[in-house]
Amino acid sequence: MEIFWFIIIAIVLAVFFVLDGYDFGAGIIHLFFAKKEKDKIVISKSAGLFWDSNEVWLVAAGGMLFMAFPNFYAAVFSGFYLPLIIVLWLIVFRAIGLEFRNQFRFQMWKDLWDKAFGVSSLLLALFFGIALGNIVRGVNLGGVIDGKAVYEAQNFFLPLWNSSFSPLSETPGVIDWFTVIIGIISVVVLSIHGSAWIILKTKSSINESLKSLIFKLNIVLVVLTIISLAVWQVVKPNALQNFIDRPYLIIFPILYFAGIIGLFLDKKFKKDSYRFLFSTLVIIGGITASLASMFPVLLPSTNTVNDSLTIYNTAAENYGLSVAMNWGIVGFILLFVYMIVQKRIMKGKIDKMDYGHQ
Amino acid sequence: MEDMLFYDRLQFAFTITFHYIFPQLTMGLSLIIVFFKGMYLKNGLEQYNEAAKFFMKIFAINFTMGVVTGIPMEFQFGTNWSKFSELTGGIIGQTLAMEGMFSFFLESSFLALFIFGEKLMGQKLHFLTGFLVFLGSWASGWFILATNAWMQHPVGFEILENGKYVLTHFSALFSNPWLIPAFLHNQVASIATSSFVVASIGAFYVLRNKKTAYGQLFLKTGVIFGLISSLLLAFPTGDWNAKNVVKYQPASFAAMEGIFNTEDAGAEIVLIGQPNMVEKKLDNKIAVPGILSFLTYQDWNKQIAGMDQFKKEELPPNVPALYYAYHIMVGLGTLFIALMGLAVFLLWRKKLFQTKTILWAIMFFVPFPYIANLTGWYVAELGRQPYLVYGLLKTQEGISPTVSSGNTLFTLLGFVGLYMLLGLLFLVLVGKTIHQGPKLLKQ
């Protein structure tokens, strides 16, 4: 039952990053590459039409995590207090940028909110990567200093950084050089994904140059992936042990690399949707491979005093989990129906669609 | 520890108060939109269709605000109330997760279709999408109220040796005797808010002498919905809730009614007065004898327990706040009935659209249903104190042990600043939408 809910939540989270990922990515592209007013409008529209329904997936993931793994939810959300609240602020701020932009017609106003949208998208992409880095690296569970725990075994509190910025320190912070590398990977991946989305959904004038941008970013991604794998071995020896013990898990990293390879074949694409499909694979593969490398651990302990948090020691009782499985299945069937209905009615490029409250 | 609790509560109170400005409109407004769209299907008058689309624009702005301020709400259970989440997550996590699954997906998918899809799918389907948005927003209210009902009156669980609350009867969460009255009261209150908003916009158009046809339609719809919902707020839903409080939280009842001392027979109902916590009495009291006993038990002479009957630990720690919240809510509710009653009377006599005074009153009355809704929630939440889970888990036992008060104050200040900006955005957007108004029709 724990495994069932772990998989469901992983799927919902991955869907969230695929969906909201493209509008974060669109924000980054908007910040650095959109110069003409027409492109700016259509790119912010390509995010602005959908961001709120995409963020519903985050709410859903949060709710399910709360229900199925309450100990993990409680420990992680309070332990990563500051970065999480900052992410919430960025989400709100980004929404303000998107919704405010087209309210008044003078240039300074638009520039201001364009930057707000772009910068908060960039920071969110970075922070989500850093978050993944933190989960993979683990934390000092129980706040152990000199062999003594300050808090209860599953509790911790992370500062934003400590003076060494090292993941190997006894009390690592949220931001260190390992998590920053993962954060940058996240920015690169979401930029690719956002570009693919813009090409798929709009007729912006920079579509052609975005294609070559994807190619360049993809090379950067390969380099960063290799570096991160090497660094990962330093931070956590035996990081890849799980793939040797459970060889079937190798499917997840394969998805990731298949996505990257697919993106290199850009010139051969007959449809714009293939490009988006491959960048989706990269995201899903990246997230699931990271989770699979730890399974069944959810948050590793960096000290030897307290055990890591796993899906077993943080889960709710069996009765609750199995009841929830029943309504969960009904809910997902319904969701699937909505999505099909929505996709059938709202297909095609969005340039002509009404946007917002103008 | 004390100041950690204080800042955690302050942050939650601030963020939830700001958040609840938006859903209370969307839940009621979606019903009125369905009404307009339904009337259009029935009578084919283009005016009704445009009215539905106009209010869906207002709805969409509120929905967006609801989403961005709602995400922090869900996360705060973990960030600031981690002990509470850890102990009760197996139970309230159920209802909160169901909200995401059954309500938000429904609401967000079909809202987009309603706004963008009218030409693509025809009028009947367009009505259906509107109806599904309504269903989604009400489902959201249902699951949140189910969560809150469990905290007010916990059912269907057992407590393990390690202090964890474990769900034993899933269906009990939804057959909780606290839930149905609270849900109905809350939904009727949100209809009241949206009726006042609709009527207020109508009054604005009529007084400005622009879009008068729409103004009259909105006024008519708003005041009729407004009178019905205001009446339902008092009876039966308000009455029903009060009886639940007497039954399950008698200490809170004494505090919110301001009864310091138990009288032998026939408790009076307090209309005005200020709680004096030092002398344990109400200053400048105006009260009517016997009424409270009658309202509560249908017996003029029945005894009602005062605050002197309860131990200090069982009583809500902030009696004046609870007392004022309750009396503001009830006082405003009474005014709603009076104003809307008068407006409907004038409408019936065909004088409403010419009576400027009452139109001005309707236009400027719009903040009060919001205040009444929020104070109503304060009554529920302050009345539950000093518990998170009534009678079982104290509020101070639920906070995050690792998050210091300095960190919470930092984030609270951030939320205050950010939400001020968000509030400004909201006013600009709504103001612009109202200024543009629904599409004028060629006669």
Which pLDDT does position B293 carry in this prediction?
85
- Give contacts of A103 with chain B, Cβ < 8 Å: 428-429, 432
Mean pLDDT, rounded, of chain B: 92
pLDDT range class, residue B99, cuts 50, 70, 90: very high
Which pLDDT does position A351 carry in this prediction?
65
User: Are the beta carbons of A92 and B121 separated by less than 8 Å?
Assistant: no
Which fold is adopted by the domain A2-314? Formate dehydrogenase/DMSO reductase fold (1.20.1630)
- Give contacts of A335 with chain B, Cβ < 8 Å: 101, 105
User: Are the beta carbons of A92 and B68 separated by less than 8 Å?
Assistant: yes
pLDDT surpasses 60 at B443: no
Report d(CA A279, CA A192) in Å as an integer.
Answer: 7
Report the residue of chain B nearest A143, measured CA to CA.
B402
Which pLDDT does position A354 carry in this prediction?
55
Q: Least CB-CB distance to B71: which of A55, A334, A353?
A: A55
Say whether A354 sits in a helix, a strand or coil: coil
Number of A–B residue contacts, CB under 8 Å: 225
Which pLDDT does position A172 carry in this prediction?
84
Instruction: Quote the minimal CA–CA distance from A250 to chain B in Å.
Output: 31
Interface of B with A in 153-172 (CB under 8 A): 166-168, 170
Task: Tell me if chain A has a CB within 8 Å of the CB of B405.
Answer: no
Instruction: Quote the minimal CA–CA distance from B271 to chain A in Å.
Output: 42
pLDDT range class, residue A358, cuts 50, 70, 90: very low
Q: What phi and psi values does residue A138 have, to the nearest 5 degrees?
A: 95, 170
Closest CA to A243 of A235, A234, A253: A253
Task: Tell me if chain A has a CB within 8 Å of the CB of B420.
Answer: no
pLDDT surpasses 90 at B439: no
Residues A290-317: what's their mean pLDDT? 90
Which pLDDT does position A342 carry in this prediction?
79
Which pLDDT does position A265 carry in this prediction?
87
Percent of chain B exceeding pLDDT 90 equals: 75
**A45-54, A132-141, A201-210, A218-227: range with lowest mean pLDDT:** A45-54
Which pLDDT does position A349 carry in this prediction?
65
Report the residue of chain B nearest A90, measured CA to CA.
B418
- Give contacts of A324 with chain B, Cβ < 8 Å: 94, 97
- Give contacts of B87 with chain A, Cβ < 8 Å: 70
Residues A121-126: what's their mean pLDDT? 96
Torsion, Cα of B167, B171, B173, B176 (10° steps): -130
- Give contacts of B131 with chain A, Cβ < 8 Å: none
pLDDT surpasses 80 at B263: no
Report d(CA B83, CA B77) in Å as an integer.
Answer: 9
Closest CA to A218 of A194, A198, A195, A189: A189
- Give contacts of B23 with chain A, Cβ < 8 Å: none
Cβ atoms B51, B39 nearer than 8 A: no
User: Are the beta carbons of A60 and B101 separated by less than 8 Å?
Assistant: yes
User: Are the beta carbons of A338 and B91 separated by less than 8 Å?
Assistant: no
pLDDT range class, residue A96, cuts 50, 70, 90: confident
Query: Which of A16, A54, A58, A59 to probe the B interface (max B CBs under 10 A)?
Result: A59
- Give contacts of B411 with chain A, Cβ < 8 Å: 81-82, 85
pLDDT surpasses 90 at B411: yes
3-state SS of A137-172? HCECCCCEECCEECCCCCCCCCCCCCCCCCCCCCCC
Report the residue of chain A nearest B107, measured CA to CA.
A53
- Give contacts of B168 with chain A, Cβ < 8 Å: 319
Residues B378-395: what's their mean pLDDT? 94
Report d(CA A128, CA A21) in Å as an integer.
Answer: 10
Query: Which of B15, B69, B74, B422 to probe the A interface (max A CBs under 10 A)?
Result: B74
Question: Which helix (DSSP H) or strand (DSSP E) does residue A113 occupy?
Answer: helix A107-137
**A198-207, B37-46, B183-192: range with lowest mean pLDDT:** A198-207
Per the omega criterion (within 30 degrees of 0), is the bond before B386 cis?
yes
Contacts of B155 (CB under 8 A, 6+ apart): B169, B172, B173, B175, B176
Report d(CA B287, CA B266) in Å as an integer.
Answer: 12
Query: Which of A317, A334, A336, A349 to probe the B interface (max B CBs under 10 A)?
Result: A317
User: Are the beta carbons of A96 and B100 separated by less than 8 Å?
Assistant: no
User: Are the beta carbons of B425 and A328 separated by less than 8 Å?
Assistant: no
Task: Tell me if chain A has a CB within 8 Å of the CB of B424.
Answer: no
- Give contacts of B166 with chain A, Cβ < 8 Å: 316-317, 319-320
User: Are the beta carbons of B79 and A55 separated by less than 8 Å?
Assistant: no
Q: Least CB-CB distance to A78: which of B79, B109, B418?
A: B79
Instruction: Quote the minimal CA–CA distance from B152 to chain A in Å.
Output: 19
> Pick the residue with more confidence: A48 or B232?
B232
Interface of B with A in 49-108 (CB under 8 A): 57, 60-61, 63-64, 67-72, 74-75, 77-80, 82-83, 85-94, 96-102, 104-106, 108
pLDDT surpasses 70 at B390: yes
Which pLDDT does position A356 carry in this prediction?
42
Report the residue of chain B nearest A60, measured CA to CA.
B100
Cβ atoms B104, B136 nearer than 8 A: yes
Torsion, Cα of A81, A82, A86, A92 (10° steps): 40
Task: Tell me if chain A has a CB within 8 Å of the CB of B293.
Answer: no
pLDDT surpasses 50 at A355: no
User: Are the beta carbons of B167 and A81 separated by less than 8 Å?
Assistant: no
Percent of chain A exceeding pLDDT 90 equals: 53
Q: Least CB-CB distance to B71: which of A58, A79, A320?
A: A58
- How many CA atoms lie less than 13 Å away from A44 in the CB half-sphere? 29
- How many CA atoms lie less than 13 Å away from A25 in the CB half-sphere? 28
Instruction: Quote the minimal CA–CA distance from B109 to chain A in Å.
Output: 7
pLDDT range class, residue A166, cuts 50, 70, 90: confident
Cβ atoms A124, A28 nearer than 8 A: no
Report the residue of chain A nearest B55, measured CA to CA.
A357
Which pLDDT does position A348 carry in this prediction?
63
Report d(CA A277, CA A263) in Å as an integer.
Answer: 9
Residues B81-95: what's their mean pLDDT? 94
User: Are the beta carbons of B117 and A49 separated by less than 8 Å?
Assistant: no
Question: Taking the domains of chain A in order of start, what are their residue ranges?
Answer: 2-314
B89 residue type, one letter: G
**A31-45, B15-29, B139-153: range with lowest mean pLDDT:** A31-45
pLDDT range class, residue B225, cuts 50, 70, 90: very high
- CA-to-CA separations, B380 to B22, B313, B388, in angstroms, rounded: 19, 18, 11
- Give contacts of A345 with chain B, Cβ < 8 Å: 113, 117, 120-121
**A325-334, B281-290, B336-345, B426-435: range with lowest mean pLDDT:** B281-290
Computed from CA positions of residues B109, B110, B112, B116, in that sequence, does the dihedral angle turn out positive or negative?
positive
Residues B85-114: what's their mean pLDDT? 91
User: Are the beta carbons of A64 and B97 separated by less than 8 Å?
Assistant: yes
